[in-house]
Amino acid sequence: MGSPTAVSAGQDHQKDRPEGEPRRSEVLSPSSPVVVFPEDAPLKLESGQLLAPLSIAYETYGTLNAAKSNAILICHALTGDQYAASVHPVTGKPGWWERLIGPGKPIDTDRFFVICPNILGGCMGSTGPASLNPRTGKPYGLDFPVITIGDMVDAQVRLIDHLGIDELFSVVGGSMGGMQVLEWTARQKTRVATAIPIAAAPWHSAQNIAFHEVGRQAVMADPDWRNGSYYEHGVVPKNGLSVARMAAHITYLSEKALQGKFGRNLQDRAARSFSFDADFKIESYLRHQGSTFVDRFDANSYLYITRAMDYFDLEAAHGGKLANAFLGTRTQFCVVSFTSDWLYPTRDSKAIVNALNAVAANVSFVEIESDKGHDAFLLEEPEFHATVRGFLTAAAVKRGLA
């Protein structure tokens, strides 16, 4: 069996970078390091299909100690990527979790070695529907197999093995990242010392599946989607993906946050236009969110990742009893929720805590008072930051990490 190949950041390993297409360039030749697992080392997916070759793009922050005992894996959410604490190569914006990760920050890179991979199915260098299918030389499109959260975790295990790390000090993630955290602790019970699932759930609710289906249908209704083959036609289903992003973004916020930030205020005008222009500030905000999203994200990746989230059901996967997922766990957990999160409400986090208590796991639970909604884990929330810092610091001291 062939060995994985490590490719330096920015090194072209599939083909030359396309001119004037920064997002497409990152699919084929990511700016971050990437590990390529060869054709003779396929990843077996939950669907039963084999995927090879497999590329996993990732970023790291801090230094791995000699014992390789200070590694923290960061699992990103639906629209995130590996650039958690570094400048995004397409947008030029700061990392999505720079508030949390860095020297002296709650996830302290003076102490910890932080790894953030782009998920399987993503569009920033890890193998996904925009990647080249070795059998055709064209992007996979809908020939890419349907994947699960468990498949994402199995791909991450390959990366951690490649880095020579036997046990992760912690696995941390919010939203879909929290789902990956739960899968890690269920699938790799001896390899995760601590875990912080944030604003997550042990299964996807009917309401959340419904929101995702609206988004997928918006993408697929765009004439430029071309049945998933838009790459070959040089077009992007921008309108559909933008609408999907707008609809999803509403679910990330709370009613109080929307009302407080926008209310019924008009956008750059003194009176209503009596048209379908963006009269209100909230309309302008959502249109901006949609238009900027399509510049950095792949439409087919959006379809595949939302479907993976819909399929997530840790209880069903373990005989209809959630506690079975954590039987024999040695992981120390810190479960975090937010009071105004109606997408993954506190009751979902409590279901996780109850299941952990049922198997006598070491678990603490914190519900953070916040009016920011689901996105609170990405924003400035001092109590949340203090919770993460305190939990990781105490666990590090207990394990003798300097």
Q: Where are the beta strands (DSSP E) in 128-241?
A: 168-174, 192-198
| Phi, psi dihedrals of residue 188, rounded to the nearest 5° | -130, 60
Residue at 16: amino acid letter: D
Place of tokens 């916020």: 253
Looking at the DSSP bridge assignments, the partners of residue 363 are: 333
Q: Quick check: helix, strand or coil at residue 203?
A: strand
**133 class by beta-carbon count within 10 Å (0-12 exposed, 13-18 middle, 19+ buried):** middle
Asked if 183 and 153 count as a contact pair (C-beta separation under 8 A), the reply is yes
Helices (H), 188-335: 206-221, 230-233, 238-252, 255-261, 281-293, 299-311
The H or E element that residue 158 is part of is helix 149-162
Cα(113)–Cα(377) distance, integer angstroms: 21
| Phi, psi dihedrals of residue 391, rounded to the nearest 5° | -65, -50
Q: Quick check: helix, strand or coil at residue 298?
A: coil
Asked if 152 and 171 count as a contact pair (C-beta separation under 8 A), the reply is no
Cα(144)–Cα(148) distance, integer angstroms: 13
Tokens of 181: 């955290």
Asked if 49 and 43 count as a contact pair (C-beta separation under 8 A), the reply is no
Tokens of 251: 């679910």
Cα(340)–Cα(369) distance, integer angstroms: 8
Catalytically annotated residues = 175, 341, 374
